[in-house]
Structures are given as C-alpha cells and as structure tokens.
Amino acid sequence: MSKPIVGHLDPYFFQVNEEIRRGLQMCFGTKNEFTMVISGTGSAGMETAVANFIEPGMKTGIFANGYFSDRLTEMARRHGADIVRFEKPWGETYSDAEAAAWIAEVKPAVVAFVQAETSTGAYQRGHAIAKAAHEVGALVIADCVTSLGGMPCEVDEAGIDIAYSGTQKALGCPPGLAPITVSPRGVEWLRSRKSTPVTWYLDLKLLLDYYESAHRYHHTAPISMFYALHESLRIIEEEGIEQRWARHKSNHELFVEGLKSIGISMHVAEGKRLWTLNTPLVPEGVSDAAVRKTLMDEHGIEIAGGFGPLAGKVFRIGTMGYGSSPENVDLLVRALGAAMRRN
Amino acid sequence: MSKPIVGHLDPYFFQVNEEIRRGLQMCFGTKNEFTMVISGTGSAGMETAVANFIEPGMKTGIFANGYFSDRLTEMARRHGADIVRFEKPWGETYSDAEAAAWIAEVKPAVVAFVQAETSTGAYQRGHAIAKAAHEVGALVIADCVTSLGGMPCEVDEAGIDIAYSGTQKALGCPPGLAPITVSPRGVEWLRSRKSTPVTWYLDLKLLLDYYESAHRYHHTAPISMFYALHESLRIIEEEGIEQRWARHKSNHELFVEGLKSIGISMHVAEGKRLWTLNTPLVPEGVSDAAVRKTLMDEHGIEIAGGFGPLAGKVFRIGTMGYGSSPENVDLLVRALGAAMRRN
C-alpha cells in the first residue's frame, strides 16, 4: 500500500487491475471476464448487485436466514423491488428440494441468497437454487463476503450470476474494496436493462467503460487499496487456492474438535458450517460478554458475539486468512477453555 | 497505511475518526459537528450529498459551468430531481448579483455549485449563492474536491450547508475517502426528510448511527485509508492551514508569472482561478498532446489536457499538496517552455 501512487488512468493501474481480475477469477471459481472490484467495502458490493440487477417492481426472492439476507432485503426494498422472503431461523440452511420447490412456486425474476452468512456461520450451496432460478428465467445473486478466498465459491459450477465479496475476510487484505463477478447471462441482463440505476457511483455500465477497453474516466479509484488486493491475491496464488481451501477446512475441523474437547458444541449443523467463521454455542450459565472480555484483556484475542436472535447464544470466531493455523486454533481453544472456567 | 488494522468498532478507530473530524473542520473552515468521511472516493461524496438531501421531485438549481456540475446534474436526475440549470461557458464564474437574481427567480429547494471546478480551473465563491438560497429557504451543496486543503472553503463563513471533497487532491493523501460536512440546517433537513434515500451504503442517517455515540455497525470502514487521512491532516496541522493556503496561493501566482514569461496566458480570469489546478491556454499552433508526451517522456512530469469544450484548448496542471513548491514551479515552467518550442 505504501508503493508510489499512479494515476487512475495510468497503464500500470490497468495492468494491476488485470492481474487482480485473474486472481479473483481463481478465488470465485469463474471464467467470467466481467470480474472487477468496486471502490467501496463489501456492502458497496451488495448495493452494486442490487442497484444494477433489480429494477423497480421486479419480483425478488430472498432466502432469509441471517443478518445479511435482511440487509439484502432492505437494499432491495429501497430500490423498489417486490420482495418475497423464504424465512428460516438464523443458522439453518435450505435443502436442494425445498429451495427448488419454493422458486418454482414463487417464480421470482431475481433470486438472492447469502452463501457465507457471517451472522450465523452457515454455508448455503448455490447449485439447486441457481438451477431452479434459471428454469424460471431468474437471475441469481450470491453474497460471498465470508467465503471468497477461504472456501470454494463455485460461481461457475453452481451457476451463480452475480457474486460479490469484501477484501478483509478470507482474502486477508485490509477492508476497502468489493470484488464482484457477473456471468455472461448477467451481462446480457445488464445490457437489456430498461431503466437507469439510481446510483451513479456504483453503475456497472459506467464502471465497465472505465475498467475495460475504453478506459473512460469515471471515478478516481483508490489505487493503494488495489495494490493491497493485488498483493493479497499473489500470496493466495503462491499458497495455491486448493491448498488454501484445504487449510481453512482442516483448521476449522481442528477447532470444532478442540471445542468439543472442552464441552462446547456448534450452532450450525455439521456439513453446513463455514470454514472461515465459527459459531460455537455459549454454554448454559456462561456469560458471553465476560468470556470475550477475558480473552481480549488477557490474551489480546478478539472474538465476536452473536447478535439479533443469536445475541448471547453464540460466539462468532474467525479462522480465516493468515489467522487460520493449527497454532492459533490450539491457543484459542486453551484460552477459551480457561476463560469459560472463570466466567 | 501499513500500521496494524483494528476492527471497525474498535475504540481506537473512533479515536482516529474523532481526530480526523477536527482536522477536516479546520480545512473546511467549519464548526459543524457533522463532519465525517464516506468510505468511497470523491464521487461517492457527491452521490452522498445528492442522495441524502435531494428528494424525488425537488426543484434543484445547479450552477452549470463545468464537468463536475454536469456530473452533479446527472446524479440529481437519477435521484428524481426537478433540475434547473444556470448555464455558463466552461471556465466562467457567477457574479454575486447574477447568482442572487437567478436564485430569487427560480426559487429552488436545493442549490448546488462547484466551488473548485477541476475541469476548468475556476473558483466559485459561495457567499452570495448561500445568502440568496437561504432567503428562499433552499439548502446549499458545494463541491470542494479540488479546494479542500489547498485554499479556503469558507463553509461557515459562506453559509454552505453541505460540502464534500476527496482525499487525493490538496489534502495530499491517497484516494479512497470522501470528506463531507453538514451544517446544523442540513442536519435538520435530514431529520425531517420524508422518504428513505435509495442508497443504503451512503445513507447519512445510518452513517451517523455508526460514527456517533451509538456506534451501531453499518459497514466495515477502510481503516488503512483512515490512517492515511489521519496522517495527512497531521501534516497539514504541522504546516498550519493558513500557511498552507498561502503557500498554494504564492506558488500558483509564481506559476502564472512563469507562464507569462514564456508567452502563455490563463483560461480563467484573474481572481477567479484555483490555486491548486491551473488551466493555461494552449498557444495557437502548439499540439497539446505532443507537449504532454514530451513532458512525460523526458521529465517524468504528468500534466492533464482539457476535455469537453476545452479539449485541446487548455492544459490542466496541478500545483497542490506536497507538489506545490517554488522548485516544482520553476522546473515545470522550464520544461514546459522547452517542450513548447519543440512541439
């Protein structure tokens, strides 16, 4: 980030951007040429997806099982969507059959789901959702904020049309940019869109003109953040994306085992858990806040609490990026065990 | 920027943010408590102003004398404004009398103008505009992207209600954040706003809840960029804001004199020029592009050309931030003189 800054129309900037595109394609699991970053944090990525692909009055089906699907709902509402929600308790996921049946019945124009739900620790696969959505002609938006770089997003394999993320989770980069990828079907959708998006800053057609061949000035991109993401992606490439996913998986499993050994079980069902963000249940009689304070004060370890319906019921503990290591898991389990005995 | 990253709800982050607020108040020339930064570049600041203060159907008067007032117009149009423009050729400014007469006649609900027009090099004072606007009950938005940190914005003195900027111009910081300040009148306006803004990412009421006492999670702020702005503002404080303005003024004047000595005159009338961004006229028979290429290839100096109605007619040359020094001015005048003789 401390490298000399070049202009937002400098050839070197577009070269950096091209390399970022290749790195992001690898992490998203996509061949989409339309893979770029938005000059804002993860939520700007979410708003970009909503503002560009949902037109006023458009029937939008949202799989609602956590905080970020609520945020998606709020954004879609503001953009005039006709919203239908498939509600589930926070932490649950949708089976292929129930997702498909719901979409077939509701027949939305756009379907949105959260692949990696940071508020609950649950992972939702997109394959069945995308298949059913495409059968009714709908576009599929997936929130990959907490999966990208730490576990497979399977954008092409699942058939996801628009996926967005943030840089500060499993990509291991400071916050500041929102990666986004759009399928050829999504690009067609954008081209045939009738109304102009209300947002100018996040208008993908204008951003395409800037980042692609024309390089028409749009905004001044935060070049230092591009350098940061560029380097993060090089570190990921060095490790190998498959190896990185495997590392996140094994450290997550090690953590779950360690938690079990100190009598703590998980909120999310086995096989549905994120490898990047763990939600162990706060045991009966233990003060969530006191444990977190002890960890912070005595070990300098910051873990998060649950919120919304999960307030006081779960911890939210990241094992992502550089932080996902057997040493950290071991340290954390021991510190957590000691803190629990005292609180 | 390379300092360790803390969480977006960490007390240290809010301490940094508080110091940023004080620094920005000094640069904007305001006591507005509502002074903060938006997590996007300058154009995100512009969109924040438009999206939060202009409601659909609202009569919006725009002083249209350059590219960025056109961008303001486009954003306001997208947000449903009823737009009336006071058109002038690029590079001209508005006298107190004509600005006041126009506002009194049009009676807009919101008035927007560009204080420092990067496309033309013209500075528009806000005093008469704000006085006339307030007389008809209108709110005043000013674009201060290229003035903040390099020349007085006079937000309180002029009576500007909303002013926004970017970090990468005269603040001397990398691009990535958009400072914004809102007067008590603007805050009242925001509180009594009837409709919800379409944008969630740039919704100032939600941002207030995050940055102010409640510290309710909104988005993950790009903390490294906050560190950068924090340091830039400390450098400005060290120099002294008055001294910094004086330095920008004297180096601008030195540059104009130097240009005169090599037979080049300015596009903007004396007294109406930005100190940060100079627009000398391209002399008859000289190729704008060839001169710029020579400067870049032989001296590593990057200057910009005019665009829109000023394409091929002016150079756009920054003398801002660290770059505004007598040595740079001298070097530039000599390099420019040599390049002109050859192209």
Cβ–Cβ of B78/A44 closer than 8 Å? Answer: no
Q: Which residue of B has its CA nearest to A46?
A: B201
Average pLDDT, chain A: 96
**Per-residue pLDDT averaged across B35-49, rounded?**
97
Query: Tell me, what's the pLDDT at A76?
Result: 98
Q: How far is CA A341 from the centre of its chain?
A: 34
> What per-residue confidence (pLDDT) applies to B9?
86
Interatomic CA distance for residues A201 and A48, integer angstroms = 9
Confidence at residue B341, expressed as pLDDT on a 0 to 100 scale: 87
Least reliable range by pLDDT among A169-183, A267-281, B5-19, B106-120: B5-19
**CATH 3.90.1150.10 placement within chain A:** 241-342
Sequence-ordered strand ranges (E) for A78-144: 82-87, 110-114, 116-117, 122-123, 139-143
CA distance A281 to chain B (A): 22
Cβ proximity of A303 and A342 under 8 Å:
no
The residues with which B160 forms a beta bridge, in sequence order, are: none
Please name the fold of domain A11-238: Aspartate Aminotransferase; domain 2 (3.40.640)
Lowest mean pLDDT among A100-109, B106-115, B204-213: B204-213
Q: What is the C-alpha separation between A85 and B290, in angstroms, rounded?
A: 59
CA distances from B163 to B108, B115, B175 (A): 18, 9, 18
**Are the beta carbons of B201 and A302 separated by less than 8 Å?**
no
Q: B41 and A221: CB-CB below 8 Å?
A: yes
Q: Sort residue B330 into left (φ over 0), alpha (ψ -120 to 50) or beta.
A: alpha
Looking at chain B, which residues constitute the CATH 3.40.640.10 domain(s)?
11-238
> How many H-runs (helices) and E-runs (strands) does chain A carry?
12, 12
Measured distance CA(B268)–CA(B270) in Å, rounded: 7
Does the pLDDT value for residue A112 go beyond 80?
yes
CATH class entry, domain A241-342: alpha beta
A253-275 pLDDT, tens digit per residue, is: 999 999 999 999 999 999 999 99
Q: How far, rounded to the nearest angstrom, does the alpha carbon of residue B34 sit from its chain's CA centroid?
A: 18
- Among A295, A284, A277, A275, residue whose Cα is nearest residue A337: A295
Distance from CA of B60 to the nearest CA of A (A): 17
For chain A, percent of residues with pLDDT exceeding 70: 100
By C-alpha distance, which of A199, A208, A221, A201 is closest to A181?
A: A208
CA–CA dist B251, B257 (Å, integer): 10
Write the CB contacts of A296 (distance below 8 Å, at least 6 apart in sequence). A302
Spatial CA neighbour of B324 closest among B292, B276, B256, B260: B276
How high is the pLDDT of residue A214? 81
At B176, the pLDDT band (50, 70, 90 cuts) reads very high
Pairing of the two strands B34-38 and A304-305: unpaired
pLDDT at B213 over 80: no
Nearest chain A residue (CA) to B225: A176
- For range B216-229, the mean pLDDT: 94
pLDDT above 90: residue A212: no
Chain B nearest-CA distance from A69, in A, is 14
Give the integer Cα–Cα distance in Å for B45 and A202: 13
Chain-centroid distance of CA B175 in Å reads: 13
